[in-house]
DNA sequence: CGATTCTATAACGTCAGGTTATGCGGCGGG
DNA sequence: CCCGCCGCATAACCTGACGTTATAGAATCG
């Protein structure tokens, strides 16, 4: 029944003392104010202004409306400003869920960039493996999930989610072979997977283990997996102790050196794609978009650019 | 930029958890909600809802809007209710200005009627002679003026106000002749003004005096006005003391008896019109309209009906 | 008393915001 | 596993609220 324009008009009349004054104050024409008042009056069921001669006064109902208009308009302005602040990156929040090795490098750099550009935007961060992070995204518990997919497989959940989510490629993370220092293959440069059909394997997280199996299957053998652990420091320890070899993504290798481990490339080369996942709607939230951009920038920056093909360096876990 | 409908929609979505639910809650169709949200989003510059699968969640900006919507809408509802209360005679105020003899009878009865019918309506009352009461009306210091006009003259001010004001006739108040008890003419019933050409006169308020002069002029004589006072009790005292005769409106006579005074009708009969005056705008204020109605009813009720022509009674001042 | 400056009215254009009809995708039950 | 229901999106369309300009009438002031 009451609309904001009407309140604005009543307040302007109260402030200016005339229809014409209210009109110029609001940027309207005078007849607009005149018939707006008439509309308001017939909706209200009572006179709101008392025109005697050519002076205009508010009636009791009109004064009431004008008085109330103040609080309503300021409340609306506050709401408008609050939303504008979020839209204008002067406020807001982005909740990120990322898997551990992304948490170590990619995410911190990106968040630093966001914080530098938009100091008022709060970014919160949760560590979660891809299946859970996507579940969190779906459940509304986070805004952005950093996930990974080994080549040929999907990101995490059933394929049905690939279209409802909006996925942005960040970088390709090559999968390397981790060998104990001094291992005969350590100096070859590129190791053919077939050379490892009799090796003892140490597997990482379930999906990494799946990838190992699929690689070996391509080479027509089944790996002897003797250890399984989600903790990559433990993997490195096991490799260094000479208990087996392991496939470890490049990104993890860079986060922590382990003096007893050497990495080399593997043939056939395989990599995992690291992606940022969100929903189409959240992608239209400026803070989320800004964070996505920052992630892309960091991913493509030289610091995080894939070191292969530039294989002269060894990477320690 | 933000409109009330939009806030209502956001709040409904927050409450119901779905567009369809919000639509039925608001009495809209579902597409109405859908495109309203889209409009809001492109105005806001950010996504407000996050649709994943077939569930809908509010984004941070959306939650902000929904939360603020509560206070804005309740403020608007309060304003609406306050105005509706005034329009519905559950609140409000009427400021009356009336001349003394109306204050004594007509106004109190009418106000009692108003108070009985609309207990929440506050009626305030100021005593003022017609010229000032109309000035107060014009200045916005009162809503309703009870004034009188002797036949042939206007209500009070220059005639220019007769059209800007809205005038409602209440009753005709016959002007009577006040004589001291025992005066030879006291028993005649109707006294011809011509019989009083040699009398000594006592005049009331300036306008009443004007009326006396004009009556005498019609009878081709000029009255001998020995006393002037605005106080009718004083007039009565003077008449009772045999110091002169006076013209006194019927309405005043009824308010107070004075044992030393008798009243009779005068020929040519003359009366003053008692009118309620307000502005066209204020007439559309329900409380004012109700008060006007009450005044009319009281004026036309038997209690205040003119006792003449039923001249068998004498009235004492 | 005429000029100025108010408000009211008429006539008209436009766009916000509603409707119905329809399509499509997700989720749950047989 | 598929099918049916349910909920959101889109298209096409309609209406009326609300703005405009043009003009008239009335009140105040010099």
For A122, A138, A287, B49, B57, the CA distances from A292, given in Å and listed in that order, are 14, 18, 9, 19, 21
Question: By C-alpha distance, which of A195, A233, A193 is closest to A211?
Answer: A193
Q: Encoding tokens for residue A34?
A: 């005149």
Nucleotide closest to B28 measured between CA and C1': C18
Chain A residues closer than 8 Å to B4 by CB: 2-4
Residue B182, judged by CB atoms within 10 A of its CB (0-12, 13-18, 19+), counts as exposed
Cβ neighbours, 10 Å, residue A163: 9
Alpha-helix runs per DSSP H in A105-151: 106-117, 130-139
CB contact under 8 A, A60 and B285: yes
Between B283 and B157, the higher pLDDT residue: B283
For A53, A131, A163, A164, the CA distances from A158, given in Å and listed in that order, are 76, 10, 11, 12
* C1' of nucleotide D7: residue with nearest CA: B54
Q: Encoding tokens for residue A207?
A: 């999906």
Q: Which domains, ranges and CATH numbers included, belong to chain A?
A: 4-87 (1.10.10.10), 93-304 (3.40.190.290)
CA of A179 to C1' of C27 (A): 48
Q: How many whole angstroms separate alpha carbon B269 and alpha carbon B148?
A: 17
Q: What is the pLDDT of residue A30?
A: 95
How many CB contacts within 8 angstroms connect chain A with chain B?
Answer: 146
pLDDT tens digit sequence for A99-129: 887 877 888 989 999 999 999 999 999 988 8
Q: Encoding tokens for residue B96?
A: 């009356």
Q: How many whole angstroms separate alpha carbon A228 and alpha carbon A221?
A: 19
Residues 6+ apart with CB under 8 A from B122: B92, B93, B94
CB B48 within 8 A of CB B34: no
Within 7 Å of a protein beta carbon, the nucleotides of strand D are 6-12, 17-23, 25-28
CB B277 within 8 A of CB B161: no
Name the residue of chain B whose CA is nearest to A134's CA: B52
Between B154 and B295, the higher pLDDT residue: B295
Q: Does the pLDDT value for residue B189 go beyond 80?
A: no
> Binning pLDDT at 50, 70 and 90, where does residue B311 land?
very low
B289 DSSP 8-state letter:
H
CB contact under 8 A, A52 and B140: yes
Q: Does the pLDDT value for residue B7 go beyond 70?
A: yes
Average pLDDT over residues B279-300: 92
> Binning pLDDT at 50, 70 and 90, where does residue B141 land?
very high
CA of B311 to C1' of C30 (A): 99
Residue B102, SS3 per DSSP: helix
Q: Does A88 touch chain B (CB under 8 A)?
A: yes
Q: How many whole angstroms separate alpha carbon A168 and alpha carbon B193?
A: 108
Task: Point out the residue among B64, B68, B93 whose CB comes nearest to the CB of A75.
Answer: B68
Phi-psi region of B278 (alpha: psi -120 to 50; beta: other; left: phi over 0): beta
Residue B11, SS3 per DSSP: helix
> What DSSP string describes A203-235?
E-SHHHHHHHHHHHHHTT---EEEEE-S-HHHH
Q: What is the pLDDT of residue B247?
A: 83
Q: What is the pLDDT of residue B310?
A: 41
For B163, B181, B279, the CA distances from B240, given in Å and listed in that order, are 42, 7, 42
pLDDT tens digit sequence for B195-204: 777 778 887 7
**How big is the CA angle at A248 (ends A246 and A250), to the nearest 5 degrees?**
150
pLDDT tens digit sequence for B25-66: 999 999 999 999 999 999 999 999 999 988 999 999 999 999
Average pLDDT over residues B84-97: 94
Q: What is the pLDDT of residue B155?
A: 52
Chain B residues closer than 8 Å to A61 by CB: 83, 86-87, 92, 285
Q: What is the pLDDT of residue A211?
A: 74
Lowest mean pLDDT among A23-27, A65-69, A136-140, B234-238: B234-238
CB A23 within 8 A of CB A9: no
Instruction: Choose from A27-41, A289-303, B104-118 the range with maximum mean pLDDT.
Output: A27-41
Q: Encoding tokens for residue B22?
A: 């919000």
């Amino acid at each position: 029944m009451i609309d904001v324009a009407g309140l604005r008009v009543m307040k302007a009349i109260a402030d200016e003392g005339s229809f014409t004054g209210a009109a110029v104050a609001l940027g309207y024409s005078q007849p607009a104010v005149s018939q707006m008042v008439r509309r308001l009056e017939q909706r209200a069921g009572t006179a709101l202004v008392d025109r005697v001669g050519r002076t205009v006064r508010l009636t009791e109902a009109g004064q009431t409306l004008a008085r109330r208009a103040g609080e309503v308009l300021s409340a609306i302005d506050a709401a408008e400003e609050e939303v504008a602040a979020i839209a204008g990156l002067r406020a807001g929040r982005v909740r990120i869920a990322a898997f551990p090795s992304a948490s170590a490098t990619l995410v911190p750099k990106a968040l630093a960039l966001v914080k530098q550009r938009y100091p008022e935007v709060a970014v919160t961060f949760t560590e979660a493996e891809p299946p859970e992070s996507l579940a969190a995204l779906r459940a509304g518990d986070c805004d952005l999930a950093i996930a990974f997919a080994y080549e040929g497989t999907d990101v995490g959940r059933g394929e049905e989610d690939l279209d409802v989510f909006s996925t942005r490629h960040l970088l390709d993370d090559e999968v390397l072979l981790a060998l104990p220092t001094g291992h005969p293959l350590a100096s070859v440069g590129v190791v053919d997977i077939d050379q490892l059909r009799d090796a003892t394997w140490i597997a990482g997280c379930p999906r990494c283990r799946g990838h190992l199996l699929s690689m070996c299957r391509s080479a027509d053998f089944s790996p002897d997996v003797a250890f399984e652990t989600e903790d990559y420091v433990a993997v490195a320890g096991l490799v260094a102790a000479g208990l087996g070899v392991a496939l470890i993504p490049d990104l993890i290798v860079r986060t922590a050196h382990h003096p007893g481990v050497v990495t080399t490339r593997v043939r056939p080369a395989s990599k995992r794609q690291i992606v940022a996942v969100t929903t189409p709607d959240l992608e239209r939230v400026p803070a989320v978009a800004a964070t996505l951009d920052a992630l892309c920038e960091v991913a493509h920056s030289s610091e995080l650019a894939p070191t292969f093909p530039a294989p002269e360096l060894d990477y320690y876990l």
